Structure formats: structure tokens, C-alpha cells
Structure 1
């Protein structure tokens, strides 16, 4: 690459992005990040009002639009794929968690977590991935979790779905790669979002999570946007089938004991 091009490594001008789950939290931050680097962004969410708020927060941007999308509705997913045939970047964040120990889990709870976290992810990768393969370009970015790698009591089904998502994206990388399509996962640590409200409400739990990571704090959603911009851009043109941990050092630090000097 000519050195004159390095300044454009993260430029997304001319790229069409879809952010599923963009109505709040990490998805909202990713939508704003992609738009800031020039992408035209469709903010898709089951909560249309939330998606519209994401658009309205972008200071009059004309490169963002809101769309209602329930990823559990196969017809809605198919319609979104058909209506957005030139999608270059797919980011999806939608997920749920039922924090219960294995012996307390009900079949309905199991099915609910699997359906949103894994089955809908497959539908998005398959639907949007097909068009990307046909056009010979694209970047698929799914939000997994550090729980794909490390667990704790009460995280069984959630962790299984996130580990499954990583393997789904790695397989997509293998199958779509010859056509010029990349697929990667981002694995956040503890982030202050609606999904973690239960933890935040318990001060002891909140503080313990903050202390576990190397940085000693939780992340804000905006701190995940850079990872999405990177994986969407030409800066990551040779990055596929990988997991980018944005976890404040959680998975690098083993335990909380501070040895004496």
C-alpha cells in the first residue's frame, strides 16, 4: 500500500452498514462510530423508537436511517435482507441472558436464550452473507462475549450461545473468505448496558466485576465502537475468523490476589 493511503485505512465512505440492535447500548455506539467514519448506516432494532433516537442523536446526519426489525421474525429478517441488498457491513449485538444455575433452568428459558442469541445470529449471517458472497465483498461483525471463553455460575446457556456464535463466525469466515467476505467476533467484558442492569443494581456485584479487570472499571458502550469500525474498515482487510477481546484485561488477569512485594 502506498503511504499516502494509510490515512484512509479507517475511512468507510461509500460503505453501507446495517447495525442490528442499534437502538441502545453497544449497538447505538457502533452505529454512531460507523457513521462518523463515513458509512451510511441503517439502525435496525425491535424497538423502533430506540432506533429513531439513535438516528436523532447523530447531530443531523443524513447518512443514518432507522428500521424496525425483530430478529426472531424470519419474515422481517428476509424483508430487511431484500430491502438492503447492497449491505457491505453487518454488525449485530442483540442478545439476552437468563442468569440461573443449570439445575434451575426451564426449557422455555433455554429456548428463549438460544433463539435470540444463536438462531437469530445464524439467520442474519446467512441472509446478509449470501448477498455479500454474491457481490464479492463484505464484513460481518457479531458481538460475542468474554463468556465465550471464561464463565461463572449462572452463565451456562448464555456462555454456550456466545461460544457457539464465535464458531459460527469462524465457519462463515472459512466459507465466505474465498469470495472476499470477512467475518469476525468482538468479545466485550463488562459493559454498562441494559443487559447488565441486574448486576449494576447490586453494589457488591458491580464492584467485584470492576475489580476483576486490569483497568479496574466497567466499560462504556462507546468504548466498543472502535473495534467495530476497525473490523469494518480496510485496516482489517486481512483479519477474518478472529475474536477481538475488548474486556479491559478481564481474560488476561488470573484472580484478584495481590502478592506481597
Structure 2
């Protein structure tokens, strides 16, 4: 067996939701680079089209699709249209960075609907078709915030912790059907979702110093984990939580003593 071939995704269709920017765009490009035909889906149609343009200019194959993950009918229709998809990557995220006492029911509903229920809708819709076909890989996006929190991240952390539990549950329910389901937990990545943090130099710098690598990550650095979990190289990996956090959770506290 040639281990290199286990990373080859030629002939497989991958639906990447949230592919219009950030980590979703990087995931779409990475899968296309390894041979997958990518459906770049996003609420932002222009962003999805731009991702497709970059993929095709690099020799890959992709099409764009408009999709609102809060619309159950739209999600079900997308899954039916791409019932032959072997790979589903779920990246959409929304954060309301406010302390819990300052949040509203609308904040809670939006964060949960996009992050948690949106993931649930997609897993349910695509997972059914994958189970019928007897194969598939679903990759959800949680966050290191599913494990550790900071003031102002409560709603987001709760939603992402829920994503981890949904991922584990579907992994156990669909494993016998040949479908693998894993969660990626990104750390501090420089994306549109972290623009608010970047606007505050003290906040940005604190994040930079907390990881073991002492820096923020760039979107392309998520692609390796995506490609691994998508294909046969991860054929015995399911129900896992893959940290891509630069060693954030490996570090004990924010102080590094001089020894």
C-alpha cells in the first residue's frame, strides 16, 4: 500500500459550507488541491464565486452554491442535489462577543441557530444520504472555545461545545454505515470572525502569546487537518476532536517563568 495514495481525493465530491471566506475557503482550496470536486457553498454568493475562481485558476474543479444554514428547506435541497457527496465540511460560525448579562435572547438564538442548529441541519441532511451509500466523511467545525472560555465568549462556547457532542453522537450512530464524523477545534486563526480581536492590540497580542507557537494562525494552516480527515488516511478516525490550536491548550496559564 502506498500511504501517499491515501490522501488522494480524486473522483470525490466535497461540499464545503462556509467556503466564501476564512477557514471555509481554505478548506475548499485544500480539498481541491488533492483532487476533490468542490461545491463551495455560502450565504455570501460573491465569496463562494471568488473561492471557485481561485480553485479553477489553480487547476482544480469547483462550483459555487448559495446556502443559508438557518433555512432547513434550503439545506435539505442542497443535500438532495449533492446526494453523491462523500465529504461534508461544516465551517459557518457567528459570535456575539458580549458578557452573558449583556446578551439578549436574539443574541442567543442567532449564535445557536448558525453554529449549532446549522451544523445539525447539515449533518442530518447529508448524513442520511451518506449512510444510504455506505460511505462518507463529515467534518464539523467546533472551536477551542468548546473546551476553554474567556469572558464574553459564553454563547459561542456553549454552541461549539454542542457541536462536539453532536459530532460524537453522529459518529456513533453512523459508524456501522461506513460514515466517519469528526470535529476540528481551531484556535486563534486570523479570519473575518476575529476582526474584532485584531482591532484591539492588547487583546490580539495576548492571544499571540498564549499559544505555544507564539503567533496567530493563517487560514491555509487548517487545510492539512481537513484533507487528512476527509480521506482514507483517516479511515479509522471517527468521533474525534482534532485540535488545531498552536498548542494553546497544552500551555498551563499565561505566565512563562524564567528557569
Q: Same fold (TM over 0.5)?
A: yes
Distance 1:139 1:146 in 2: 21
Alpha-carbon distance between aligned partners in 2 of 1:62 and 1:224, rounded to the nearest angstrom: 18
Aligned equivalents of 1:126 and 1:230: distance in 2?
Answer: 22
Q: Contact 1:42 / 1:66 at 8 angstroms: preserved in 2?
A: yes
Three-state SS of the structure 2 residue aligned to 1:41 is strand
Native 8 Å contact 1:55 1:61 kept in 2: no
Counterpart of 1:123? Answer: 121
**Partner residue of 1:23?**
20
Unaligned ranges ≥5, structure 2? none
Q: Secondary structure at the match of 1:211?
A: helix
TM-score by length of 2: 0.98
What residue in structure 2 maps to residue 10 of structure 1?
7
- Pairing partner for 2:222 from 219, 224, 232: 224
Provide the secondary structure at the position in 2 that maps to 1:44.
strand
- Identify the residue that residue 208 of structure 1 maps to in structure 2: 206
CA displacement 1:137-159 (0-9 Å, x = unmatched) = 00000010000101111111100
Matches within 5 A, 1:10-159: 10-58=7-55, 59=57, 61=59, 63-159=61-157
Q: What is the TM-score of this pair, normalised by structure 1? A: 0.97
Q: 1:18 aligns to what SS in structure 2?
A: strand
Partner of 1:242: 240
Contact 1:212 1:250 in 2 (8 A): yes
Paired residue for 2:165? Answer: 167
Deviation at 1:258, TM superposition (A): 2.0
Q: How many residues align?
A: 258
Give the drift of 1:254: 1.1
Asked whether the equivalents of residues 35 and 60 of structure 2 are also in contact (C-alpha less than 8 Å), the reply is no
Following the alignment from structure 2 to structure 1, what is the Cα–Cα distance between the partners of residues 198 and 60? 35
Aligned counterparts of 2:3 and 2:252: Cα–Cα separation in 1 = 37
Structure 1 residues 110-169: Cα deviation after superposition (integer angstroms, max 9, x where no partner): 101000011111000000000000000000000100001011111111000101000000
Contact 2:32 2:60 in 1 (8 A): no
What is the CA-CA distance between 1:60 and the residue it aligns to?
Answer: 5.3
Aligned-residue CA RMSD (Å)? 0.9
Deviations 1:189-213 (A, max 9, x none): 0110111000001011100000000
SS at match of 1:184: strand
Give the Cα separation in 1 of the matches to 2:44 and 2:102: 30
How far apart are the structure 2 equivalents of 1:134 and 1:73?
Answer: 24
Flag as ranges the 4+ runs of structure 1 deviating above 6 A. none
